Chain A
Amino acid sequence: MKPPVALIALAALALLSGCAVEPWVKPYERGRLADPEMQLAGRPLMDKHREHVHVVREAARGATGVQGGGCGCN
């Protein structure tokens, strides 16, 4: 007999909601993460230029977190 997948999924969801994890770093504890040396992204134009240099000269591309535009990179 085919297992009632939807029923199992619903039951699992109901069980999981009972053990929800609380956010363990409170908003007032995140001050250090806002400091200038803690930013993953730098200045948008500088990041874009560096990313453009790499896309033009290497085969690897994507997943950089930098918004890219079209370019004649071929």
Chain B
Amino acid sequence: MAATDWLRRAARVLGGLLALHPAGPAGAAEVPADDAEAMIHVYDGGGVRAVGPALLVRKSLADRVSASASYYVDAVSNASIDVVTTASPFKETRNEVGLGLDYAVRDALVTASFSRSTEPDYTASSLGLDVAQDVFGGMTSVSMGFSRGRDDVGKVGDPGFADQATHWQYRVGATQVLTPTWLMSANLEAIADEGLLGSPYRAARVFGAAVPERLPRTRSSRALKLRAIGAVGEVSSVRAEYRYYWDTWALRGHTVEFGGARRLGDGWLAEATLRLHSQNSALFYSDNATAETEYITRNRQLSAFRDWGVGAKLSTDVPHLPATWKLRATMGYEFKRFDFQDFTDLRTGTLYAHNAHLLQINVSAPF
């Protein structure tokens, strides 16, 4: 397979480069610790409920190698605004399997990953290679990575329909220790997509009539994210993040997130977040087009809107366990609000808005 050959060649070049790099004084990189994790996740908002379990197991195979496997389920019951105004509510399940291999060599960590997600009408596979390297006495960590994804798209009720999409992702990042209590990071990612980039079910509106959406078959996007985290006192921290997104469909997005965390004693950790996102609409988005154009969509994800979320998370070590056991439980909840600026609720004729709830219950066990 061409992709496997490419990965093999890249790994050889990477191995050669790392072997030439002198070991820094901070010591060698380490593979992530052995861990088993289980999670129940719920998203409920705008008529869509996605619920499921997720599992992750990570085990070191040798001193410098660690393997991981994950399983993620999304049981979706969909009665979203699109579905109730143009089709019938439906249920479907998405299963995702992930495999990863981490290899620590000198001050670098090389990660190869594979994932495959399947739904009744959509299969997505992705291969990735990432490398993170400590430099400057361990004060700086630089990373770069590449993924290639391939999607096979079908259509329920139409066995003759088959299309594909391919995704290339290139990313670089750096994390810098600024002071003994502050660090910051910068990440840049470029994504190129080609193929069917819309939905075979979605309808657009032209002169009030429903027509199948027509999207370009290429899209190229960039995202830049800056993050900083700092200690406050002995047991607390604050953090701030900003991401700017832009692409060739003329979409621009701004995402800001603020967070705080505080150790409460006895292994308890409390966290709070506030997240704000705003974006303009794609060039060919229209709520109800008044001209025939080559491309047209009414996908509200590509429309101008704002959303905000406020969340909290609480973690603790599970008490009263045998001495050899250690379990850490984390529960997270986030309230979200979406306000669309150019998407009409066809049932009421007003601009569409909805609330959403995100719930996560996670248990992890290092072993």
Residues of A at under 8 Å CB distance from B? 22-27, 29-33, 35-38, 40, 42-46, 48-50, 52-54, 56-65, 67-72, 74
Interface of A is mostly: loop
- Contact across chains for B277 and A58 when beta carbons are under 8 A apart: yes
Contacts A25-B180, A67-B113 given; does A60 touch B277 at CB 8 Å: yes
Which residues of B from 61 to 96 have beta carbons under 8 Å from A? Answer: 70, 72, 74, 94, 96
Do the beta carbons of B253 and A69 come within 8 Å of each other?
A: no
- Least CB distance, A23 to chain B, in whole angstroms: 3
B263 contacts A71, C-beta separation under 8 Å: no
When A48-B72, A60-B277, A70-B117 are in contact, do A32 and B94 touch as well, CB less than 8 Å?
Answer: no
Give min CB distance, B272 to chain A, whole Å.
11
Shortest Cβ gap from A25 to chain B (Å): 5
Q: Which residues of B contact A24 (CB under 8 A)?
A: 139
Instruction: Note all chain A residues with C-beta closer than 8 A to B261.
Output: 36-38
- Whether A46 pairs with B360 at a CB distance below 8 angstroms is yes
A37 to B98, CA, bound (A): 28
B212 within 8 A of A: no
> With A25-B180, A33-B181, A38-B231 as given contacts, are A65 and B245 in contact (CB-CB < 8 Å)?
no
Q: Can you give 11 contacting A-B residue pairs, CB < 8 Å? A: A36-B269, A42-B330, A45-B56, A50-B360, A61-B191, A62-B223, A64-B225, A67-B113, A70-B150, A71-B96, A72-B122
User: How many residues of chain B have a CB within 8 Å of chain A?
Assistant: 99
A36 surroundings in chain B (CB, below 8 A): 261, 263, 269, 315
Asked whether B177 lies within 8 Å of A70 as measured between CB atoms, the reply is: no
What residues on A are CB-neighbors of B113 within 8 Å? 67
- Closest residue to A49 on the B side, CB-wise? B41
- Kindly provide the distance from the CB of A53 to the nearest chain B CB, expressed in whole angstroms: 5
CB <8 Å contact, B231 and A35? yes
Residue pair A32, B364 in contact (C-beta under 8 Å): no
* B341 interface hit (Cβ, 8 Å): no
How many Å lie between the Cα of A56 and that of B150 in the bound state?
17
In the complex, the answer to whether A46 meets B189 with C-beta atoms within 8 Å is no
Q: Is the CB of A40 within 8 A of B171?
A: no
In the A-B complex, list the 3 residue pairs whose CB atoms are closest, starting with the nearest.
A70-B124, A69-B115, A23-B137
- Supply 11 further A-B pairs (C-beta < 8 A) apart from A45-B54, A70-B124: A29-B180, A37-B263, A45-B56, A46-B313, A49-B54, A57-B307, A59-B279, A63-B171, A63-B173, A64-B187, A65-B187
CB-contact partner of B185 in A26, A27, A40, A68, under 8 A: A40
B124 and A71 contact, CB distance less than 8 A: yes
Q: B177 near A74 (CB under 8 angstroms)? A: no
A37 touches B70 (CB 8 A): no
Distance of A25 Cα from B25 Cα, bound (Å): 13
State which of B6-14, B125-133, B288-296 sits at the interface with chain A.
B125-133
Q: Chain A residues near B179: list those with CB within 8 A.
A: 25
| Contact call A69/B338, Cβ cutoff below 8 A | no
CB-CB under 8 A from B167, the residues of chain A are: 70
Please encode chain B, from 166 to 188, with 1 for each CB lying within 8 Å of some chain A CB and 0 for all others. Answer: 01010101010111110101011
Once the chains are docked, how many angstroms separate the CA of A32 from the CA of B178? 13
Encoded as 1 (CB less than 8 Å from any A CB) or 0, chain B from 106 to 145 comes to 0000010101110101101110101000001111000000
State in angstroms the CA–CA spacing of A64 and B242 once bound together.
Answer: 10
Q: Is B255 part of the binding interface, using a Cβ–Cβ cutoff of 8 Å?
A: yes
